[in-house]
Structure 1
């Protein structure tokens, strides 16, 4: 691409050259015409002088000879060529031919052309200025032609041409420098604006073009600077909005995936990466129809691109089993044309697991309630049918009624405890002395302990306290002790220990019961789960004690775990924070 500066300079030079050439042509023509007119006037005067001399020589015996001599002398004096011809075409004298020794016959000019003119050709030789006048000598008439060569004119014109050419070259040089300076003054701001535009295209928006003056280029620079400032503000606003959008997308727990009309992924947030188990680098720019993506997800995107809104669940098996809720819908431009699809991905794994657990809980609770109710119904029916009349049978059935009533009451109490724990807010903690709390637990368990022969030992330092809800902590310790009592045979031991370990207060309840198989240990804290269902029911267990203990401990920010081996007993370890997470509340 040719520079504007050079094009302007060449334009200036061309205009100057054409103008100078035209002016030079006019001036040269005027100089030439002036010179010719002056020479013709001189020749006219010479012709008049020779004519008067010839007229004075009338009456000579040999006029032609005398005329020839006279013409030769005057030609030498006037330094002009003189040609004298008769009207019949006979040439009397031609001083130029005699000087060169040429004797060829020449044709004179026609008599009707008695005027001043420039003659070219063989008649008078190369390029001559001449004047032809009639001469009457007595009764004879002649034609007198006086001429001079154009050599002087040609030399003068050559010098003028050379001077004009030199002047033109100098003028072109000066005009070139001046036009280069002027064009540089015009194009320099344009060059700066061009560089500025390139830098802006590369992202550098902190640019300004400084141009002095108040001409059109300065106006253009001011407009350009104003445009750059507006672009800078728009880009800053866009970057701010983009930052907000990226922050929102990054903080969202739900995954967002945006595709174009061909299914190519253009946007995916961190939650989308996590839920799909695919890095963003492997998704961006790729089509959702590739083998990496779930077929159900592909179908949802296809339907969304077709203009439909899709709501369904997708099950993934890699990198881990998950249930995802997928909401796919098209997004359109201002004209209503579909530009792509937006897919919202929600992790519904825990929700589905909770629903499953709820269903299992309802089924288990119904089953657990049905068993004592059925036993009560059967016992009552038996008594009604006549067993009440047999004292021994009546006492046995009444004992059964009492046992099943206690079991049903315990089950309902545990269910209410679980419901209360799930519905309650933050735990209200106070410093609870563990030694005193343990004594309260022993007092609660004394009726059950009276029926068993167990060795219970406790190692709880005096003054060891833990921030907790007193009633809930008592419930945890009571449930752990109740579980140990029920699963430890007579003659067995139960060891309770409490100690400080780092920022935790630990409570350990160990028994010498039958133990728990390793495969069952992960499930002992599930609701209604029993390792030995028949034995647990026989002992009056509800299957909720350990589940309640876990709910309470986790609500306090602690953990509960089990260590066990078949035939070697079990040990439950509770770890609670040793300090308040906030200010303690008054007891």
Structure 2
């Protein structure tokens, strides 16, 4: 930019110099011509006022010589044909036939043979009189050619010197001004490049308050606003990324062509693929779910889709799919957004609830039906037979007890679930609680001739709700008694392990098949339904025990081998 300013300054100065030279030269020539015209008028007047000069060439020459000397001019008088008869540059008659300066000659020179001189560069030529055949008078400065050249040289030299000085001064000023203008502009240029590369912290140094300084200040303000806007956008983008990454539900966003733009971590977990491998692909290529692909196509056509789909790979799942289009400000569809929810657990819970209701209804209906049938039998006349009456009354008592136990267990289970995570835990002496439980089971142990072994440290303490802990241990010991053949052994051990109290109840009973070992904790699940009912089980004892253990932050597991017995292990926080 500085070179541009210098070039403009140089060209402007050269143009100005040329203009000044021409103008000054022309003004000088015009002024000299005006002066020569005045001298020519004076010479004509003097010659016209001298009769001798009009009739004698010698007198004319003498008069012209005097006038030339007094006026300081060069005077030439020529004939109408251009031949000089008087030329003061030679100091005498031009081409005269005598050596006398003022020899008499005829006014009309018939035989003059003077040469035709070249008019000086600066001269004025006028007729000596109004006569058509009058002589011509030419007036010019003395030595006009060389003098004019010297004057023009001096003017040219002075002009060149002035122009050089002016050029130097203007160049220095131009460089300073150009630098003052170019430096902020170059800074803004560098700043713009840095901003294009992502560096939004660059600023231009503002050193002036002129237009360039205002431009630099405006540029800095614009850069600051851009930085704030970019930071705000980056912050919003990070928030959105965090939301997408932390969402438990899957999110898929596609463009108008159905190609994937967003595939969050929840989707990666559901479909077993990495987002980097499926971006810009069709949804079917990433999920292998034609139903999902069709739902997205419908969304791209403007529909809102709500469906439940089943995923088979990489793991069987039930998915809730919500697909809808997203549009720009003009209402044009730009793509589709898909929300994917894992409903597998919800479906499992729903199935468990249905099974629970069906099982509970069945379990309640069985004793109720037995009671109803017994009552009808008694009413039909069995009450009159003492032996039959006693039998049916015992059956009524047995079924009513079973119904009472079933409803009690249902209420216990409901109460544990309602208070899940907040049991009234206190510091309990485990040997004391266990002693109460075993004391209640002692009649059954003795009648079945079952051996009981215990190995519980006397100082072992646990943090638990006393009622629920008693219920858990009662269910475990009761199960061991029911499913252990006569003469078998039941062992109860207690120990402290990794900050937890571990209670293991083992038996030498029939054992549990591996396929049933986890399901026995489901409500109303029985490995052998007929045997369980015959033993008086409700199918809720182990479900209640596990729910209560987990409510305390503990666990209840089983290890068993068919024909060799089972071991139920309870873990609860130590006191």
TM-score interval w.r.t. the shorter chain? 0.7 to 0.9
Offset at residue 340 of structure 1 (A): 4.2
Deviations 1:95-152 (CA, angstroms, capped at 9, x unpaired): 899x9x9xxxxxxxxxxxxxxxxxxxx983795746354489xxx9655667776354
Q: Tell me the equivalent position of 1:26.
A: 23
Of 479-488 and 382-391, deviating more is: 382-391
Offset at residue 153 of structure 1 (A): 2.2
2:128 aligned with 1:131, yes or no?
Answer: no
Counterpart of 2:515 (choices 497, 514, 519) is 519
2:206 aligned with 1:216, yes or no?
Answer: no
Counterpart of 1:546 (choices 542, 555, 559) is 542
Q: CA–CA distance in 2 between the matches of 1:141 and 1:429?
A: 151
Q: Tell me the equivalent position of 1:164.
A: 159
Deviations 1:219-273 (CA, angstroms, capped at 9, x unpaired): 3344444444444455555555555555544444334444444445545554444
Helix, strand or coil at the partner of 2:347:
helix
Question: Are 1:47 and 1:146, in contact at CA under 8 Å, matched by a contact in 2?
Answer: no
What value does the CA root-mean-square deviation take over the aligned residues?
A: 4.3
Question: Are 1:44 and 1:131, in contact at CA under 8 Å, matched by a contact in 2?
Answer: no
Offset at residue 559 of structure 1 (A): 1.5
Q: Tell me the equivalent position of 1:574.
A: 570
Q: Name the TM-score, length of structure 1 as normaliser.
A: 0.78
- Structure 1 residues 90, 541: closer, same or farther in 2, change over 3 A? closer
Helix, strand or coil at the partner of 2:453:
strand
Question: Are 1:51 and 1:144, in contact at CA under 8 Å, matched by a contact in 2?
Answer: no
Of 242-251 and 430-439, deviating more is: 242-251
Offset at residue 293 of structure 1 (A): 6.1
Deviations 1:456-514 (CA, angstroms, capped at 9, x unpaired): 11111112111111111111111111111111111111111111112111111111112
- Structure 1 residues 302, 123: closer, same or farther in 2, change over 3 A? farther
Offset at residue 70 of structure 1 (A): 9.1
2:371 aligned with 1:372, yes or no?
Answer: no
Question: Are 2:9 and 2:167, in contact at CA under 8 Å, matched by a contact in 1?
Answer: no
Helix, strand or coil at the partner of 1:344:
strand
- Structure 1 residues 359, 142: closer, same or farther in 2, change over 3 A? closer
Q: Tell me the equivalent position of 1:463.
A: 459
Q: Name the TM-score, length of structure 2 as normaliser.
A: 0.79
Offset at residue 561 of structure 1 (A): 1.5
Flag structure 2 segments of 5+ consecutive residues without an equivalent.
Answer: 96-115
Paired residues, number = 547
Of 362-371 and 425-434, deviating more is: 362-371
2:498 aligned with 1:502, yes or no?
Answer: yes
Offset at residue 156 of structure 1 (A): 3.7
Q: CA–CA distance in 2 between the matches of 1:35 and 1:72?
A: 20
Q: CA–CA distance in 1 between the matches of 2:498 and 2:136?
A: 148
Deviations 1:21-76 (CA, angstroms, capped at 9, x unpaired): 333321121123334555677788889999999955957xxx8xx899999999x9
Offset at residue 172 of structure 1 (A): 3.1
Question: Are 2:321 and 2:339, in contact at CA under 8 Å, matched by a contact in 1?
Answer: yes
- Structure 1 residues 143, 258: closer, same or farther in 2, change over 3 A? closer
Question: Are 2:261 and 2:280, in contact at CA under 8 Å, matched by a contact in 1?
Answer: yes
Q: Within 5 A, what are the aligned runs for 1:167-566?
A: 167-267=162-262, 269-282=264-277, 286=281, 288=283, 290-292=285-287, 294-332=289-327, 336-385=331-380, 395-425=390-420, 426-566=422-562
Helix, strand or coil at the partner of 1:524:
helix
Offset at residue 549 of structure 1 (A): 1.2
Question: Are 2:5 and 2:174, in contact at CA under 8 Å, matched by a contact in 1?
Answer: yes
Deviations 1:147-179 (CA, angstroms, capped at 9, x unpaired): 776354245435533553454344334323311
Q: CA–CA distance in 1 between the matches of 2:247 and 2:346?
A: 18
Helix, strand or coil at the partner of 2:531:
helix
Question: Are 1:71 and 1:93, in contact at CA under 8 Å, matched by a contact in 2?
Answer: no
- Structure 1 residues 69, 303: closer, same or farther in 2, change over 3 A? same
Flag structure 1 segments of 5+ consecutive residues without an equivalent.
Answer: 102-121, 580-587
- Structure 1 residues 7, 295: closer, same or farther in 2, change over 3 A? farther
- Structure 1 residues 532, 73: closer, same or farther in 2, change over 3 A? same
Deviations 1:430-470 (CA, angstroms, capped at 9, x unpaired): 12212111221122223433431211111111121111111
Q: CA–CA distance in 1 between the matches of 2:53 and 2:331?
A: 116
Q: CA–CA distance in 1 between the matches of 2:433 and 2:533?
A: 28
Q: CA–CA distance in 2 between the matches of 1:398 and 1:326?
A: 58
Offset at residue 414 of structure 1 (A): 1.9
Q: CA–CA distance in 1 between the matches of 2:407 and 2:73?
A: 156
Q: CA–CA distance in 1 between the matches of 2:5 and 2:150?
A: 38
Q: CA–CA distance in 1 between the matches of 2:171 and 2:4?
A: 11
Of 309-318 and 191-200, deviating more is: 191-200
Deviations 1:317-371 (CA, angstroms, capped at 9, x unpaired): 3332222223333445555555544433332221111101111111222233333
Offset at residue 377 of structure 1 (A): 4.1
Deviations 1:277-325 (CA, angstroms, capped at 9, x unpaired): 4434345555546444633333333333433333222322333222222
Question: Are 1:68 and 1:93, in contact at CA under 8 Å, matched by a contact in 2?
Answer: no
Q: CA–CA distance in 1 between the matches of 2:82 and 2:216?
A: 86
Q: CA–CA distance in 1 between the matches of 2:510 and 2:441?
A: 21
Q: Tell me the equivalent position of 2:100.
A: none
